[in-house]
Amino acid sequence: MNILLKNIPIGQAQVLATLRIIIGLFLIYHGQEVFQAKLIQEYAQWEAFKGMNGTLMVYLGKGAEFVAGVLLLLGLLTRIGALICVGTFLYITFFIGGGKFWYQDQHPFMFALFGLLFFFTGAGIWSLDNILFKK
């Protein structure tokens, strides 16, 4: 009980690594749609993509989700993957979703927040960054 009241981390490195891996898997899951041309064409018909090259925008967005997911999952170039995540999901939140993150479409905004978390914390343990770029 005493540990619950103290201001000390409990498994912080392991929890952050687990969250990074799970978020990476979620991003890969959503980003793999980049390989489904029919689905990309359906997304490109959304009202938010009218007046621009919708197909290109959807490919860029889904590709960014996929790349960010792979980077976060592996913990490779984690801060770059995190920035891709933040940029992509802030665009989705404010331009595609109309910025209604406080009562609708909260998932893209939460992915952006996780991206910020991993930008500031880095890859941590269980990562290729940890192996390749040791201090």
What distance in Å separates the CA atoms of residue 125 and residue 127, rounded to the nearest whole number? Answer: 5
List the beta strands (DSSP E) in 5-134.
Answer: none
Burial bucket for residue 78 (CB in 10 Å: 0-12, 13-18, 19+): buried
- Its pTM stands at 0.92
DSSP state of 123: S
Average pLDDT over residues 6-19: 94
Average pLDDT over residues 21-40: 97
Average pLDDT over residues 38-66: 91
What distance in Å separates the CA atoms of residue 65 and residue 87, rounded to the nearest whole number? Answer: 10
Domain borders along the chain are: 23-130
Scored b (16 or more CB within 10 A) or e, 90-111 reads: bbbbeebbeeebeeebeebbeb
Spatial contact of 114 and 68, defined as CB atoms under 8 Å apart? no
What distance in Å separates the CA atoms of residue 81 and residue 75, rounded to the nearest whole number? Answer: 9
Map tokens 């040791």 to a residue. Answer: 134
Average pLDDT over residues 10-32: 97
pLDDT digits (tens, 9 = 90+) for 66-122: 999 999 999 999 999 999 999 999 999 998 888 888 887 799 999 999 999 999 999
